[in-house]
Amino acid sequence: MTFGGPTDRPGWDDRDDRDRRPPAERIDLPPGSEGPRERVAEGSLFDDLPELPSRPPGGRIFSLEDRPAPGLYFLAWFLTVGAVALLLVGFLAAAPVAQGVLLLVALAAFTLGLSAAAGYQVLSRADRHPDAYRGPSPLIVFGVILGASYFLAVIVFGLGRLDPASPRGLPVQALVIGLGYLVTVLLFVIRTRALGWRDIVQRRREGSFAESLFVDVAFGIAVGLLMMLLVGIAGLILTTVLGVETPRQLPEARTAADWLLVALAAAVIAPIGEELFFRGFTLTAWQRDLGPTRALLRSALFFAIVHVVQVDADTASTGIRQAFLVFALILPVGLILGRLYQYRGLISSICGHATFNGIQLLVLIAASQAPTTF
């Protein structure tokens, strides 16, 4: 008896191993061929091993078998991948006109491809339980909004010679994105009956309509004030620790008319569109499958990441620190607005969001009017 054999267990040596092998049968192989000379007979201990999968992990992604709408699935992949290829070609194009044309074609293909993907998901999820979410993924719907908004922005700002970062261009940009939120939710969520308006608005009725509306508005404003106080204190601490300033996302306004346009975009249009999508649609959809807590966290992360992508800095070091600052400040905003939506509904979360943005705007106005020398 030896130790340290094939299994490093006492009492197990090569002879014992051979004695425990299943009976084998001899097979004849052609001369010169390679392979084992013995084959394990049927009825051995290997019969209990699980069968190997028919395709490798992830192989079903590029397969059309057993799909409810294979043509729509293929179209979604074809247009989306083609859009990415066109964008790469557009970046390499030297002529500005060619770049513009390729960009428009790529954005159109990208929007149509993800629209096909959203439609396919509606068909593939039709047999889900009625209490589960049966519509397209919020991530795919957001991609449709992104592609359509950029497509319209290239046309509106490219042909109109209007600067999207100017006080006059900001409301137009916010309106384009807001309409994107509304139209995509209407087409892919409401019309497909994945969710209804009642599911999205989620109003709590207490007393008459006027009384309930007053409570929603008042509660939202109160939460927005408290949220601005907490985020403002956290922002002062983080900007000092990180050594960066909060990225300025609003244009410089010099006249009262410019400030009104900026306020219309930041405190009215943007809160309505973002709350409709990120809370009314996204949070409600994920909540049906994940539950309120996990859906709240996921929607807040999604909301924060979208705002981080908008950070534009001169250097990589500054960009990383500003991105971390924005994420650390927007994440609690998304959590608070999401919890407000779960408790009071969409109207209340819109009021809270509008209050939060409006106070920031008032601070900017006050800072712009402050004297620079003392």
> pLDDT of 244-263, one tens digit each?
888 877 787 788 888 899 99
Instruction: State whether 154 and 295 are in the same domain.
Output: no
Q: CA 222, 227, 228 angle in degrees (round to 5)? A: 100
Instruction: State whether 234 and 178 are in the same domain.
Output: no
Give per-residue pLDDT as tens, 154-186. 888 877 677 877 888 899 999 999 999 999 999
Instruction: State whether 240 and 125 are in the same domain.
Output: no
Range of the domain at 307: 208-374
In a domain, 27, yes or no: no
Q: Would you place residue 41 in the very low, low, confident or very high pLDDT band (cuts 50, 70, 90)?
A: very low
Across 45-58, average pLDDT: 53
Per residue, what are the HEC states of 176-209? HHHHHHHHHHHHHHHCCCCCCHHHHHCCCCCCCH
Instruction: State whether 153 and 234 are in the same domain.
Output: no
Round to whole Å and give the CA distance between 280 and 138.
Answer: 11
Tokens for 21, please give them.
């092998």
Provide the 10 A C-beta neighbour count for residue 273. 22
Instruction: State whether 366 and 220 are in the same domain.
Output: yes
Name which of 22, 16, 29, 123 is nearest 69 in CA terms: 123
Q: CA 334, 265, 143 angle in degrees (round to 5)? A: 55
Instruction: State whether 75 and 115 are in the same domain.
Output: yes
Instruction: State whether 182 and 312 are in the same domain.
Output: no
Instruction: State whether 272 and 138 are in the same domain.
Output: no
- Per the CB < 8 A criterion, the answer to whether 185 and 192 are in contact is no
In a domain, 49, yes or no: no
Last residue of a domain, one of 148, 164, 194: 194
In a domain, 309, yes or no: yes
Instruction: State whether 299 and 364 are in the same domain.
Output: yes
Instruction: State whether 175 and 308 are in the same domain.
Output: no
Q: Which of 146-150, 230-234, 364-368 is least confident? A: 364-368
Query: Average pLDDT, whole number, for the chain?
Result: 83
Last residue of a domain, one of 194, 225, 249: 194
The alpha carbon torsion through 7, 9, 15, 19 (nearest 10 deg) reads -80
In a domain, 292, yes or no: yes
- Per the CB < 8 A criterion, the answer to whether 166 and 210 are in contact is no
Instruction: State whether 294 and 214 are in the same domain.
Output: yes
Question: Which of 163-177, 241-255, 313-327, 345-359 reaches the highest mean pLDDT?
Answer: 345-359
Instruction: State whether 297 and 238 are in the same domain.
Output: yes
- Per the CB < 8 A criterion, the answer to whether 112 and 68 are in contact is no
> How many CA atoms are closer than 13 Å to the CA of 96, on its beta-carbon side?
1
pTM: 0.81
R_g of the chain, CA atoms, integer Å: 29
Give the total number of structural domains in the chain. 2
Last residue of a domain, one of 162, 194, 226: 194
